[in-house]
Structure 1
Amino acid sequence: MSEKVIVIYSGGMDSFTVLNHVIREGKKPIALSFNYGQRHKKELDYAKRACEMLSVPHKVVDISAINSLVGGSALTDDIAVPEGHYEEPSMQQTVVPNRNMILISLAVGYAVSQQANAVYYGAHSGDHAIYPDCRPEFVQKMKDVCAIANYEKVDVVTPYLQDSKTAILADGLKMGLDYSYTWTCYNGRAKACGRCGACEERLEAFKDNNAIDPLKYE
C-alpha cells in the first residue's frame, strides 16, 4: 500500500518538482495549497491545472484573513515588488512573517486527519539568504516539534533543502517535467515580469541548464 503524504503545493517550480519527486518515489500525495492573500495567487490556478494533469487530489484553503496579523510584505500588501536577485537585501520585502511555520502547522494538522505520515515542502538553498523559514535550522526545529505535537508523529521533509534552483530544475528535466504547468512570478499579471527575484532565479536556472523556459515574459 502506498504511503500517504501531504505536499504543500504553491504551483511554482520547486513544489511542482517536489510533487513529482514524491510520485516517483511511489508515495500517494495530497497537494495542499493556500490562498494567504498573495498578489501572485495566479499560481493557484497553475496548481489546479498541474494536479488535474497528474490526477493528484488537491485541496485549496483560504487563509487570507491572516493578513490582518502578518502584513507588511510586498507579496500581500500594496508595496511594490522589488526587482533584482533573490540574495539582494531588497528581497527581504517579500518575506511574509512566519509564513512557512503557519503553513507547515496547518499541513501537519491536515496530515494527522488524513492519516498521512509526512509533510513535504520545497525549501532550497537559494532561499537561505533571505527566508529564515527555509533554512536548515528552521526545518530541523519544525521536524522536532512536529514529531511530538500530536499522538501521531508527522515528519517534515525537504528533499531539495541543500540544492539550488538550478539543481532542482535539472532533476525535474531529468524526470521529463513540463514546467509550463508552473507559475513563479511575484506579479500576478498575464505574463511573467522577468524582473522580480523569483523570475530572475527561474530564468537563471533555465539558462544554467541550457533549457528554454516555456512561460511567456513581458
Structure 2
Amino acid sequence: MKAVVLLSGGLDSTVCMAAAAAAGCELFPISFDYQQRHSRELASARRVAEYYGVKRHLVISTNMDAIGGSALTDAAIAVPEGDAGRHDIPATYVPARNLIFLSYALGYAEVSGADRIYIGVNALDYSGYPDCRPEFVRLFQQLADYSTKAAVQDGRRIKVETPLIDLAKKDIVLLGAKLGAPLHLTTSCYAGGEEACGKCDSCVLRLKGFGEAGMQDPIPYAKRP
C-alpha cells in the first residue's frame, strides 16, 4: 500500500509519517516551500524523510507570500506570543494552506498510484486553524471522490487519513515515542531560529504536550517556560 504523507518537518506531521510507516505503507512524503519566512522546517522535513529511507521526497514550490495575510509568510505581521487558551484564529493562520497542500497531495497520489493521503491535522491541542477540523477533512474527502480520474474512471478511491485528529498534544507525543518517530529531528517553532523560541503558539503547545506526557522535548530552546 502506498501513502502520500504531508511532511512539514514538525512534530505532528512526523508522528503522522510514523503512523503511516507503522501501517505498512510505502511512504511518498511531500513538503512545500511556500515562501514561508524561514526554511528551517524544510530542512527538518528532509532529515525526517532521510531517516525513513524514502525513495523520493517531493518538495513543491508555491508562492503563498504573494497572497500574504499570515505571520508565517508576511514579514510585516508579527508572530504572536503563545496562548494555549486562545479561541480566535491567530495571525499564524496561512489562508487556505491545507486546502492547497491537500490538492497537490491528491494529484501526487493519483500519479504515484497511492490510495492513501496522510495528514497530521489535529482538532484538539491546536491553534484554532479552520483547516485542521474534521469537517474540513470530511468535505475535502467528498471533493476528492469526484475530482480525479482514479476515482471517476478507475474506481480507485484515494482516502485521506488523519490518525492524529482526535489526539491531544500529549497523546501525539506518546504515540510518536511508541512508534519510534525521530522527534529529535523535528521543529515546530514559528520563529525559525537555531533554537526554538519557547514563546510562540507552536512552541507553547509542543512544550505543553511533552510536559503532560512526562517527557523532555529533545530539541533545543532559547527559553523553556
TM over 0.5: yes
Cα-Cα RMSD: 1.5
Question: Which structure 2 residue ranges, 5 or more long, are not aligned?
Answer: 151-156
How many residues align? The count is 214
Q: Is the 8 A contact 1:82 1:91 kept in 2?
A: no
Q: Deviations over 1:163-213 (max 9, x none)?
A: 111111111112233311101000111110000000001101110111111
What's 1:60 paired with? 59
Q: Deviations over 1:29-65 (max 9, x none)?
A: 10000011112420110111111121023111111x2
For 2:188, the aligned partner's letter is T
Q: Is the 8 A contact 2:14 2:182 kept in 1?
A: no
Residue 159 in structure 1 maps to residue 163 in structure 2: yes
Aligned with residue 37 of structure 1, among 35, 38, 46: 35
What's 2:180 paired with? 176
What's 1:88 paired with? 86
Q: Deviations over 1:55-82 (max 9, x none)?
A: 023111111x2322x3110010011100
For 1:76, the aligned partner's letter is T
TM-score, L = length of structure 2: 0.90
What's 2:114 paired with? 116
Supply the distance in 2 between the matched residues of 1:102 and 1:122 (Cα, whole angstroms).
15
What's 2:135 paired with? 137
Aligned with residue 189 of structure 2, among 185, 200, 204: 185
Of the structure 1 ranges 172-181 and 123-132, higher mean CA displacement relative to structure 2 is found in: 123-132
Aligned with residue 103 of structure 2, among 102, 105, 108: 105
Displacement of 1:89: 5.0
Identity of aligned residues (%): 38
Of the structure 1 ranges 38-47 and 196-205, higher mean CA displacement relative to structure 2 is found in: 38-47
Of the structure 1 ranges 130-139 and 117-126, higher mean CA displacement relative to structure 2 is found in: 117-126
Q: Is the 8 A contact 2:125 2:205 kept in 1?
A: no
What's 1:125 paired with? 123
Cα gap change, 1:128/1:195 in structure 2, threshold over 3 Å: closer, same or farther? closer
Displacement of 1:123: 0.5
Supply the distance in 2 between the matched residues of 1:128 and 1:140 (Cα, whole angstroms).
18
For 1:96, the aligned partner's letter is V
TM-score, L = length of structure 1: 0.93
Q: Deviations over 1:67-110 (max 9, x none)?
A: 22x31100100111000225425752011111100000011011
Residue 11 in structure 1 maps to residue 9 in structure 2: yes
Aligned with residue 206 of structure 1, among 184, 196, 210: 210
Question: Which structure 1 residue ranges, 5 or more long, are not aligned?
Answer: none
Q: Is the 8 A contact 1:67 1:76 kept in 2?
A: yes
Of the structure 1 ranges 125-134 and 78-87, higher mean CA displacement relative to structure 2 is found in: 125-134
What's 2:21 paired with? 23
